Structure 1
Amino acid sequence: MSYQPGRHFLQIPGPTNTPLPVLAAIGRPTIDHRGPEFGTLGRDVLSGIRTIFKTTNPVVIYPASGTGAWEAALVNTLSPGDRVLMFETGWFATLWNRMATKLGLAPELIKGDWRSGVNADAVETRLREDRAREIKAVAVVHNETSTGVTSNIAAVRRAIDRSGHPALLLVDTISSLGSIDYRHDEWDVDVTVGGSQKGLMLPPGLSFNAVSDRALAASKRARLPRSFWDWDDMLASNTNGYFPYTPATNLLQGLKVAIEMLHQEGLDNVFRRHQRAAEATRQAVRHWGFEIQCDNDEEYSSSLTAVRLPEGHSADALRADILGRCNMSLGNGLGPLADKVFRIGHLGDFHDLMVTGALSGVEIGLKARGIPYHPGGVDAAMSYLAGNAGAPAEAA
C-alpha cells in the first residue's frame, strides 16, 4: 500500500486508539519486576483495576489476550465433564462455547438469532429443568462485539436466583469494560473476563479475571488442569504487588495511567460519552436508510454499531474502498455476518469530531461505491451531538 498522509482512523471495535499519555507510560524504561518500584506499581494497578470492575474482590491480571482470560475463568472453576450453560449472542459467545468443548467440558448452547441479547427467561427455564444440578456455570457475553448487542447481566443474575440454582455466573466484558456501565459486585457475578485493548485504551496484551468468593471456593474443588492460569499462584504473589512469573511490565505502566485517566474523566462521564457517540452513529445509520444489526433498542451497544448493507452489496468491498480513500479501518462481519455487515467502533479514547469524521468516511465510501443511501447521515449525527452535550457528572 502506498503512503497515506494524515492520521489513520482506527474505527474497529478494538483494538482502539491508545492515548498519548498511555503510550508515553508504556514507552518508559522497563523496570525490575522483582524490585521495590515494581511492587508499588503492582499494588497500584491491582487496586485500581478493581474500581473499573466495580468490585472489592481480587482481579487477576494475565499477560494474555482476552481469550486467555476466557480459559482462566473456565479452568479455575470447573472440572472435566462439567456442564456449562451458554447463550449464542454472536461470534464471540460461539468461540467461548468451542473453547469449553476443547477443554473437556460439556457446554450447552441456547440458540440465538445474532440480533438480540441473552434471554434471561430461557436461562431460568433451563436451570429449573436441571433438577440434578449438572449445570455448574452459566457463561454469557455482556457486549457481543460481532453484533453490537449488549445483554442485561443483572436480569441474568435475577433469573439464576429465581431458579434457585447454584450455578456460577461467568461474564465476558472484553468489549464493554470501561465503555459501558458494569457492576461485578452489585450484579453478583462470579468471574468477569476483561481485556486491555478496548475501553481500557491499551494495546492488546493484558487480560483480567475479577473473581467472587464463590468462584474462589469453586477453584479449590476444580479439577481441570491449570498452571499458567492458576489463580492461587497469582493471588499469593499479588499480595505484595508482584506476579509469579514475568508480567507485561510496560503494559502495566500504561494500565496505571489508563485507570487514572478514566477516573479523571469520571466513569459516569465515560459511559455517557460512549452513549452519545453510539446514538449519533445510529442517527446517521437510520438516516442513510440501513438496518442496525441489533434489533432491540434496549440492547443497543455503546461500544460499536453493526450496520447491515442492502442485499447485493458487499460490506467488505465498502470497507476496502473506505480504507483506500479515507485511511480508515472499520470492523468486518464475522461468521454468518461476513460481508453482510460492517462495524463502526466508537469506544476508548475519542471525541465528537472523531465520531463525525468516521461517519463522513463511511458516507464518502457509500457514495463512491454507488450503494443506495439517503445523503445527510453525518448532518443527522451532528444535529444530535449539538443538541445533546449532556452535563458532566463529578469525576471520581
Structure 2
Amino acid sequence: MPTGLTAVCFSDKAIEARKTSTLKKVYYDIDDQMKTNPSGGTPYTPSLHLLYGLRESLALLKEEGLENVIARHHRLAEGARAAVQGWGLPLVCQDPRWNSDTLTVIKTPEGVDSNLVVKNAWAKYNLSLGVGLFQINGKAFRIGHLGNMDELMLASAISGAEMAMVDAGIPITIGSGISKALEYWQKTSKVIPTRECVLQG
C-alpha cells in the first residue's frame, strides 16, 4: 500500500456508536462517507495519486504472488540479520521467534549514540535509516526491508550502514556485514519466476 494511504473499516457497533458520539470531527466524518459510499463517490476530493499507487501495488503483488512476496521478505530479513551477525553487534530482538521480516533493529555499543549512525548515513551517503524509538533512542537504529525491495537495494543500505557505523566510531570492519548478507542471498537465490525463460535454451 502506498505511504499515506490506509484502509478504514467500521463494525456495526462503531457505526451505531457514532450516532451518540460527542467527539468533534475535524476532517474525516464517517457520516459524510456513508452518504456518498452507495454511489461509489467520496465526500472529499480523493488523493488520486495514492489510489493509482494502490492499483499499481496490487498489480505488483498479483504478478509476484503473495507467497513469493512473503518468502522474499523473509530472505531479505535473513540476509540483514546475517550482516548484523557479521558486524558482531546484537539485535534488539533477543528471541529469534520474534524477528521481524520487515525491519532489523541493531543495538550500538555502549557509549555510541545510534542517532549519529543515522545522521552520518543521511548526511554522507544519502541513506535513510530509522532511529531507535522511545526507550532505545540513542541505543539502536533500524534498517527497513519492506515493500518492493530486492537484494541489491538492501545490499546498498547495509553497505551504507557499515560506513555510517565506522564514521560514528563503531569498531567494525568494512565489508564484515555486507559479505555475510551477500553470501546468504547468493546461496538462497532462485530465478525470478517471470524470468525463467531467460535461462532456458
Asked if Structure 1 and Structure 2 have the same fold, meaning a TM-score greater than 0.5 normalized by the shorter chain, the answer is yes
Residues in 2 aligned to 1:250 and 1:371: alpha-carbon distance in whole angstroms: 42
Contact 2:112 2:169 in 1 (8 A): no
Between Structure 1 and Structure 2, the one with more helix by share is 2
More contact order relative to length (CA 8 Å, sep ≥ 6): 1
**Bigger proportion of residues as strand:** 1
User: Residue 130 of structure 2 corresponds to which residue in structure 1?
Assistant: 331
Per the TM alignment, residue 242 of structure 1 is displaced from its structure 2 partner at its CA by: 1.2
From the superposition, tell whether residues 280 and 246 of structure 1 become closer, same or farther in structure 2 (CA, over 3 Å): same
- Are 1:216 and 2:12 matched, yes or no? yes
2:147, 2:90 → 1: CA distance? 24
Q: Secondary structure at the match of 1:344?
A: strand
Distance 2:155 2:144 in 1: 12
Decide whether the 8 Å contact of 1:333 with 1:339 is kept in 2.
yes
- Per-residue deviation at 1:346? 0.8
Alignment of 1:26-175 (within 5 A): none
Whether the 8 Å CA contact 1:269–1:392 is kept in 2: the answer is: no
Aligned residue among 366, 369, 384 for 2:184: 384
Say how many residue pairs are matched.
190
Partner SS state of residue 106, structure 2? strand
SS at match of 1:343: strand
Quick one: distance in 1 between partners of 2:44 and 2:113?
46
Distance 1:261 1:235, change over 3 A: farther
- Check 1:287–1:274 CA distance in 2 against 1; reply closer, same or farther (3 A cut): same
Cα distance change on mapping 1:218 and 1:319 into 2, 3 Å: closer
Q: Structure 1 unaligned runs (5+)?
A: 1-199
User: Matches of 1:210 and 1:286 in 2, distance apart?
Assistant: 41
Distance 2:106 2:6 in 1: 28
Paired with 1:308 and 1:289, the residues of 2 have a C-alpha distance of: 10
Q: Which residue in 2 is equivalent to 1:21?
A: none
TM-score (norm 1): 0.44
Match of 1:291 among 70, 90, 95: 90
Superposed displacement of residue 293, structure 1: 1.1
Would the alpha carbon gap of residues 369 and 217 (structure 1) be closer, same or farther in structure 2, given more than 3 Å must change? Answer: closer
Q: Distance in 1 between matches of 2:123 and 2:54?
A: 33
1:240–1:269 Cα change, 3 Å: farther
The structural deviation recorded for 1:300 is 1.2
Select which of 290, 309, 313 maps to 2:112: 313
Q: CA RMSD in A?
A: 2.3
Q: Is the partner of 2:7 in helix, strand or coil?
A: strand
Work out whether residues 307 and 341 of structure 1, in 8 Å CA contact, stay in contact via their aligned partners in 2. Answer: yes
The equivalent residue for 1:341 is: 140
How does the TM-score come out when normalised to structure 2? 0.83
Same amino acid, percent of matched pairs = 34
